[in-house]
Copies of this chain bind each other. A is one copy, B any other.
Amino acid sequence: MPGVDAADEFETIERLFRPLAHPEWGRGLIDDVAALPSRPGYDLILTKDAMVEGVHFLPDDPLDTVARKLLRVNLSDLAAKGAEPFGYLLACFWPEASGWLEREAFAAGLAEDQVKFGVHLLGGDTVVTPGPASFSLTALGWVPHGRAVARAGAQPGDLIVVTGMIGDGILGLKAARGELGLEDERVAALTAHYRTPEPRVDFALAVREHAAAALDVSDGLIADMGHMASASGVGILIDLEKLPLSRAATAWFETRVDPVAALTELATGGDDYEIVMAVPPAAVEGLKRAADASHLRLTVLGAATQGEGVTVRHGGEVVPVKTTGWRHG
């Protein structure tokens, strides 16, 4: 509808987003389009995630971290496919009551992570909504032609390997909500992980070189393993006691009376943004060397098998897992 909050959206683009634009391909955000030269020998990888206040982030989350998380969850998707990110398009739905402070914080968060991850804004749209703050981001990356790592591709006998730690996503959500009775330092670390997870961008090349299948842990480790199992036509076996836990997660775990329930909660929580891979046994050594080189922890959690679905074990006993933590957000 013409004329809605007109100058504001124009100024938002002019003052906050234009400085973030790719110097060449974003056309200074003047043209409502980006123009991207082809890169022969490479495929363009595109992914899109949306976030809504009160659903995917908390009303209390600072908007600079919301912007960074939005960018990072998309970069995480690219990294899990073995792609090198370079840019993004952004749609902002600002609540009617939102002012310059919120928008400036949001743009500042983007600016910070653009430098950190070497990406630029290519275009987008900014509108006003009577609803909650909402955002949608389309991230773009390059991968050598045909080398994008799919969810399909796991073979029986492949090892299931994950980067970093599992469980800080769901514990971070609890921490940000004030639901965790841990020391302040732990709560701060977990909240920070929830608000600005670390996408494994630097590990994309290793994923591409060594993994047969991969995806990032966003819906929850077990749900995501379910996606891989179903896309690959294999079964996947996970040993819960192998879950790599951060120091904060370990501190939480030690307060729980039921260790299996606690580990299951961490394995179904989601929002971890680690990369979980199916790796042929012969390729594990190379993957580990790459992880060592970037000081990244790797953990073998189980294996792909004949069959279907995800089997979760603890101490060799099968654990029934009811909720798989599925979501699409």
- A positions within 8 Å CB-CB of B: 1-4, 6-7, 9-10, 13, 27, 30-52, 54-56, 77-78, 81, 83, 89-93, 122-132, 134, 136, 138, 143, 145, 148, 150-152, 170, 173, 215, 219-220, 227, 231, 268-271, 323, 325-329
B131 touching A56, Cβ below 8 Å:
no
B3 touching A325, Cβ below 8 Å:
yes
A327 touching B1, Cβ below 8 Å:
yes
B131 touching A326, Cβ below 8 Å:
no
A170 touching B91, Cβ below 8 Å:
no
| A150-B2 CB under 8 A given contacts A56-B127, A89-B48, A127-B50 | no
- Count of identical protomers in the assembly: 2
| A125-B9 CB under 8 A given contacts A30-B151, A77-B32 | no
With beta carbons under 8 angstroms apart, the residue of B9, B56, B78, B130 that contacts A54 is B130
- Specify the chain B residue showing the minimal Cβ separation from A43: B35
Give complex CA distance A56, B4 in Å. 9
B31 touching A35, Cβ below 8 Å:
no
Give complex CA distance A78, B327 in Å. 33
Min Cβ gap A46→B in Å is: 4
A231 touching B30, Cβ below 8 Å:
yes
Q: Report 9 cross-chain contacts, Cβ distance below 8 Å, ordered by A residue.
A: A6-B326, A6-B328, A33-B83, A40-B40, A46-B138, A54-B130, A55-B128, A55-B130, A136-B136
B93 touching A52, Cβ below 8 Å:
yes
- Specify the chain B residue showing the minimal Cβ separation from A131: B131
B134 touching A93, Cβ below 8 Å:
yes
Q: Which 10 A-B pairs have the closest CB atoms?
A: A131-B131, A91-B136, A9-B328, A136-B136, A38-B38, A2-B270, A50-B91, A36-B44, A33-B47, A50-B125
B328 touching A129, Cβ below 8 Å:
no
- Specify the chain B residue showing the minimal Cβ separation from A33: B47
- Specify the chain B residue showing the minimal Cβ separation from A143: B35
Which residues of B are found within 8 Å of A31, using beta-carbon distances?
81, 148, 150-151, 215, 231
Which residues of B are found within 8 Å of A271, using beta-carbon distances?
2
With beta carbons under 8 angstroms apart, the residue of B1, B9, B56, B136 that contacts A173 is B1
Sample of 20 further A-B pairs with CB below 8 A, known A33-B81, A34-B47: A2-B170, A2-B219, A2-B268, A2-B271, A3-B325, A4-B55, A6-B327, A31-B148, A33-B78, A33-B148, A36-B43, A38-B41, A40-B40, A48-B138, A49-B125, A52-B131, A55-B127, A93-B134, A125-B136, A127-B329
